[in-house]
Structures are given as structure tokens and as C-alpha cells.
Amino acid sequence: MENTLLPGLYIVATPIGNLGDITLRAVETLRGVSIVACEDTRVTGKLLHHLGLKKKLLRYDDHAGEGDRERLLALMEAEPVALVSDAGTPLISDPGYRLVRTARERGIAVTSLPGPNAAVVAMTLSGLPNDRFLFAGFLPNKAKAREDMLAELAKVPATLIFYETAPRLDASLGAIASVLPGREVAVARELTKKFEECRSGSPQELSEYYAAHPPKGEIVLLIAPPGDEPLGEVDVDTLLREALSTAKASQAAAAVAKATGLDRKVLYARAMELK
């Protein structure tokens, strides 16, 4: 007998790699809804087939317009509608917040089911401080915008979490080395899958490793929070060398000065000695 659900919107998290991670409540909810709104009908179709379910699928992704949203809102006023992403928890760097916002404004019931999320899995694997963390979505494609975002978040007293793609990983590690020298970084990939990996180190160490072992799959990139301990001479040299691996002496000095509060001219002079 099918589970009877009231009309409204049901936000359902789906597995990020291991189908065994779907919750019993998610299965019961997907069984009970009339319609499933999803990013890619082929991906969601495979999941439903695995669960032995057949449901009407409607595409709702980043390209969805006002008409698509209104259609879904009209449906959920009369029947239960599920919103899923291709993997993980909907709305976390996925489309949907406008749909949820409008549904709430119109008095339509919204229910969110907890479940898999790559950012949280990576945070727990990384070994980085977890009392505070900031999820910041994807780093920008363009180099200047990427560096500007990292500079903007440089002083946030929390572990920074980003989603990243394998082809852009090296560029992002280079930007971190330049803008946030001295920070520990973790790269988590293939989460919940057979070849799950979480590797940590300096941006330069990770860049060298992945140059020799090209990564595949989706990636979560984590950056340790800024430290407040005093830096010694050896630490400063290490920071400068990391920054110099991707930047000119003046840029390296500026980045280390911003990260440490030390005099930029002194750092520039030391950077020229280390070159």
C-alpha cells in the first residue's frame, strides 16, 4: 500500500555515489509522491528504476524559467511533488531556492528530508577544524575572480569548503598557494565510491601529486582557517616559497603580507633573496 502524502513540496536528498546511502524515508516519500522534479530525467530515472519505482518526471534545472516554476507550484498545490538533484541534497549548489521561496510565500507546505551531502562528508573526512566551516559553492572560472573570492574569504575564521571539478583543480590549488600561502588544504574526491580519497597537504604538494595522478570525478576542496599563532622566520620562508611557485616576487610578498600582517617591503626583499 502506497504511503499517503499531503499536497506540497518534498525536498529529497539522493545518494552522491553509493546507492545504499538513500534513506528509508526518502524511498517512502518517492513512493508516495505523484511527480518528481529533477535536474536530469535520465539520472533520476536510473535511481527510480533501482528502487523499483515508476513516477512522472519533470525537468527542473538551472535553465528553468518562470513558466516551469509556475507549473510546478500549481501541481504541488493539488498533489505531493518531490524535488531531487542528480546527487546529494537539493539546493546545495543546485537549483531550487526560488521554487522553495515562492512555495512558502504562497502557503504551500514544504518538507525537507535530511540525507547525503558531499560538503559534509568531506568536512568529516578532512581532519580540518570543524567547529566552524563555510560552504562557498564553486570557485569562479576566471583567474582574477577566483583570486578575488579567496582574498575576500581570507580572514573568515572557519574551514572553507568549495565544490570543484577535476580539470580546474590545479588552477584552484595555484590560486590558493598565491592568495592564502601557508594554509593546509584537503582534496576529497569520489566520495562514498570504491576509490574514495581524501588527501591533505600544502597546495604545492597536492598540485604535484595530482599532476602525477590526474584526478577524475567530482571534488570537494577544503582550506584550513587562518591561524593566529606567531610566525617564525622559517615559516615565513615557507610561505614565500609557496607563493613564489605561482606568482612574482611582488605578488608573493603582497599575499604573505596580507596573510600574516608582516611588512610587505621586508617580505619583498626576502622573496628576492629566495628566488
Give the mean pLDDT of 43-62: 95
Give the mean pLDDT of 37-54: 96
Rg (CA), the chain: 22
Residue 14: partners with Cβ closer than 8 Å, 6 or more residues away = 22, 26, 44, 47, 84, 85, 86, 87, 88, 115, 116
Q: Is the pLDDT of residue 205 over 60?
A: yes
Residue 55's pLDDT is 97
Give the mean pLDDT of 203-222: 94
* Dist. CA 179–CA 201, nearest whole Å: 16
pLDDT band at 230 (very low <50, low <70, confident <90, very high): very low
**Residue pLDDT, tens place only, 108-141:** 999 999 999 999 999 999 999 999 999 999 999 9
pLDDT: is 40 or 2 the higher one? Answer: 40
Q: Which of the residue ranges 12-26, 109-123, 151-165, 234-248 would you say has the lowest mean pLDDT?
A: 234-248
Taking residue 228's Cβ as centre, other Cβ atoms within 10 Å add up to: 6
Residue 73's pLDDT is 97
* Alpha helices, DSSP H, located in 18-65: 24-32, 41-51
Q: Is the pLDDT of residue 228 over 50?
A: no
**Residue pLDDT, tens place only, 32-44:** 999 999 999 999 9
The pLDDT > 70 percentage for the chain reads: 96
Q: 90 with 40: CB under 8 angstroms?
A: no
Question: What's the per-residue H, E or C state across 66-110?
Answer: HHHHHHHHHHHCCCEEEECCCCECCCCCCCCHHHHHHHHHCCCCE
Residue 94's pLDDT is 82
**Residue pLDDT, tens place only, 73-98:** 999 999 999 999 999 999 998 888 99
Q: Is the pLDDT of residue 234 over 70?
A: no
Give the mean pLDDT of 170-187: 93
Q: How many degrees, rounded to 5, is the angle at CA 239 between CA 233 and CA 240?
A: 90
Q: 199 with 206: CB under 8 angstroms?
A: yes
